[in-house]
Amino acid sequence: MKITKADGGRLIEADLIPIREIIARYLGRSAAKEAPNSVARFPLLKLDETQVVARTPLAVDDEGGD
């Protein structure tokens, strides 16, 4: 997946799909409703030429951004 919308450190969508919908697709609707606690063990990975960086959502706002 590729990040298609972000605001600073706030992730809004990937592949034009809202992040909460992606969480629901892969981890289930209950995980999406209980985020970020439910996704703490499933970090997002950013790959570049020299390293892999893992990020875990710390909060979810009313608009669905993490």
Q: For the chain, give percent helix, strand, coil, nearest 5.
A: 25, 30, 45
pLDDT band at 4 (very low <50, low <70, confident <90, very high): very high
Assess if residue 28 is contained within a domain: yes
Assess if residue 66 is contained within a domain: no
Assess if residue 18 is contained within a domain: yes
Beta strands in the chain (DSSP E): 3-7, 10-14, 17-18, 44-47, 52-55
Assess if residue 48 is contained within a domain: yes
Assess if residue 62 is contained within a domain: no
Structural domain including 50 reads 3-55
Assess if residue 61 is contained within a domain: no
- In this prediction the pTM is 0.70
Pair of tokens at residue 26: 């892969």
Number of domains in the chain: 1
Assess if residue 65 is contained within a domain: no
pLDDT tens digits, 7-57: 888 888 999 999 889 888 988 888 888 887 888 888 888 888 899 988 887
